[in-house]
C-alpha cells in the first residue's frame, strides 16, 4: 500500500489485541502512554517498552497519538513553563527512541464531544452521534454552566428543556458520562471537575487562546526540528465553540494561521477529515490541498451532518469526497517521493468505526468508536480505494 495503513491501539488494556490488528492489513500502530499523567515527561524507558511490545507483535509504532498538552499551557497559567519543559523532554526522548510523528490538540477542557456513543443506524450498526439539543440539555441542566442559555436559539432552549424533563436518572447519567468521561488518560472526571476547569477560562478570548498556542509552538517546534520529529495538531471536534469556549483549529483560515505561527515543516497538521467535515462550510478536499506539504498524519473518516447534528458515517460515505481526498493524498506522496524525502509516506488510519456484527454482542468498548470490526471494514475500504486510484491514474508510481 502506498499510504501507510495504521490502527490505533490503546495499550495492553485495549480489548483489541495487537495480534488481531496485524490481521486487518495495518502495518503501523498509533498509540500513546495514557498511564502517564498529563504534564509529566515520557522517559526513554517507557517509550522503549511500548515500542518493544508493538514490534514483538510484528508491527511498527508509527505515530504518537497523543502527547497531551497540559491545560495550564492552554490557559497560559504561571506554571505553564514547567509543563512546556516536560513536553520538550518527551519530544527529545521520542526523537531518540520513538516514533517521529507526534499528535496533540489545543481544545480547551474537553477533547472530542459526542452525546450518544451508541446511536443506532438503519442497518443495525451503532455509531457516535452529536445532537445539539442533547448537548444544550447537558449544559443547561446538568452542568448548569452560567450563561449557557445565551449560546442557543429559543427553539433549541425549548427543545433542550423538553428533552431533559423526559430523561430518566439513568439516561441523564449516560448523557453525562458520554460527554465528559470517555477520554483515555482522563477518566473519572466529574461535573465539579469540569466546572473548576471552566472557571479558569473565565473571560477567555479566541485571540488569547491563539496567542498561547503560538507561544507553545515557538517553544517546542525548534526542539522537534532538532530531534527530527514532526508535531501535528488535531482539528477541533466538533469544529465549533463548546462550553462557551473558543476553538481555534476548525476551518481553512485556522489552518493558515497555524502554519504561519511557526513556519517549519515540524509544525504540521493531523488531517482529520471527519472533524473538519462536521463544519458544514468546510471543503475538506480543498483544505487538505492547502496544507498538504505539512500533513504528517491522516484520519480518513466522514460525518453525516443534519441540521447542526452529525454522526459518524461509513468511511466512504457522509460529507467527505473520500475518492478525491485519497487521490490528493496519493498525489502529495508522489510529489514528496520525487523530492527525495525519506518520510514521504503519510500514515493513515480508519477512525471512529461503527460497531457491527459480533462487536455488537460484546461488552461496550471502553474506547468508544474503536471496536475492531468497524475499523477493519473501514481500512479495507480505504485500501481498496487507494489501490484503484493508483492503478487507474498513477500505475508508473507503484
Cα separation of 40 and 87, whole Å? 8
Active-site option among 10, 87, 311, 370: 370
Active-site option among 352, 354, 355, 365: 352
Q: Are 304 and 317 in contact (CB under 8 A)?
A: yes
Question: Is 87 part of the annotated catalytic residue set?
Answer: no
β-sheet with 126-130: strand ranges across: 116-120, 126-130, 309-312, 303-306
Cα separation of 315 and 302, whole Å? 6
Nearest Cα residue to 277 out of 314, 242, 244, 243: 314
Active-site option among 236, 351, 355, 359: 351
φ, ψ at 7 (rounded to 5°) = -140, 135
Active-site option among 272, 296, 315, 359: 272
Cα separation of 277 and 283, whole Å? 8
Active-site option among 299, 311, 315, 355: 299
Question: Is 229 part of the annotated catalytic residue set?
Answer: no
Cα separation of 394 and 380, whole Å? 20
Question: Is 234 part of the annotated catalytic residue set?
Answer: yes
Q: 78: exposed, middle or buried (C-beta count within 10 Å: 0-12, 13-18, 19+)?
A: exposed
Question: Is 272 part of the annotated catalytic residue set?
Answer: yes
Q: Are 138 and 181 in contact (CB under 8 A)?
A: no
Nearest Cα residue to 230 out of 294, 187, 167, 160: 294
Q: Are 16 and 370 in contact (CB under 8 A)?
A: yes
Question: Is 227 part of the annotated catalytic residue set?
Answer: no
State CA 103 to chain mean position distance: 8
Active-site option among 34, 70, 230, 234: 234
Tell me the catalytic residues.
Answer: 234, 272, 299, 351-352, 370
Amino acid at each position: 500500500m502506498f499510504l501507510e495503513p495504521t490502527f490505533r491501539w490503546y495499550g495492553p488494556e485495549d480489548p483489541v489485541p495487537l495480534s488481531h490488528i496485524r490481521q486487518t492489513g495495518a502495518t503501523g500502530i498509533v498509540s500513546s502512554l495514557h498511564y502517564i499523567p498529563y504534564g509529566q515527561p515520557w522517559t526513554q524507558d517507557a517509550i522503549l517498552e511500548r515500542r518493544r511490545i508493538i514490534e514483538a507483535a510484528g508491527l511498527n509504532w508509527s505515530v504518537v497519538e497523543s502527547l497531551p498538552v497540559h491545560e495550564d499551557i492552554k490557559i497560559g497559567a504561571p506554571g505553564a513553563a514547567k509543563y512546556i519543559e516536560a513536553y520538550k523532554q518527551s519530544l527529545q526522548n521520542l526523537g531518540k527512541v520513538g516514533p517521529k510523528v507526534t499528535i496533540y490538540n489545543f481544545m480547551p477542557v474537553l477533547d472530542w464531544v459526542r452525546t450518544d456513543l451508541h446511536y443506532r443506524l438503519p442497518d443495525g450498526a451503532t455509531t457516535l452521534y452529536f445532537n445539539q439539543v442533547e448537548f444544550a440539555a447537558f449544559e443547561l441542566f446538568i452542568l448548569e454552566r452560567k450563561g449557557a442559555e445565551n449560546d442557543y436559539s429559543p427553539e433549541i432552549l425549548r427543545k433542550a428543556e423538553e428533552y431533559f424533563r423526559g430523561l430518566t436518572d439513568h439516561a441523564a447519567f449516560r448523557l453525562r458520562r458520554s460527554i465528559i468521561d470517555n477520554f483515555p488518560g482522563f477518566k473519572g472526571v466529574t461535573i465539579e471537575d469540569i466546572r473548576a476547569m471552566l472557571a479558569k477560562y473565565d473571560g477567555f478570548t479566541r485571540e488569547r487562546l491563539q496567542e498561547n498556542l503560538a507561544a507553545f509552538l515557538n517553544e517546542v517546534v525548534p526542539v522537534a526540528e532538532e530531534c527530527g520529529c514532526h508535531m501535528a495538531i488535531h482539528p477541533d471536534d466538533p469544529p465549533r465553540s463548546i462550553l462557551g469556549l473558543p476553538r481555534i483549529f476548525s476551518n481553512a483560515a485556522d489552518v493558515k494561521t497555524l502554519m504561519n505561527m511557526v513556519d517549519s515543516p515540524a509544525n504540521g497538521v493531523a488531517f482529520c477529515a471527519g472533524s473538519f467535515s462536521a463544519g458544514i462550510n468546510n471543503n475538506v478536499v480543498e483544505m487538505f490541498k492547502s496544507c498538504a506539504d505539512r500533513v504528517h498524519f491522516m484520519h480518513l473518516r466522514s460525518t453525516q451532518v443534519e441540521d447542526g447534528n452529525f454522526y459518524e458515517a461509513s468511511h466512504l460515505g457522509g460529507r467527505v469526497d473520500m475518492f478525491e481526498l485519497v487521490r490528493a493524498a496519493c498525489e502529495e506522496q508522489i510529489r514528496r517521493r520525487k523530492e527525495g524525502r525519506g518520510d514521504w509516506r503519510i500514515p493513515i488510519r480508519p477512525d471512529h468505526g461503527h460497531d457491527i456484527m459480533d462487536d455488537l454482542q460484546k461488552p461496550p468498548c471502553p474506547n468508544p468508536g474503536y471496536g475492531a470490526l468497524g475499523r477493519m471494514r473501514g481500512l479495507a475500504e480505504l485500501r481498496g480505494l487507494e489501490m484503484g486510484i493508483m492503478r487507474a491514474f498513477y500505475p508508473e508510481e507503484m
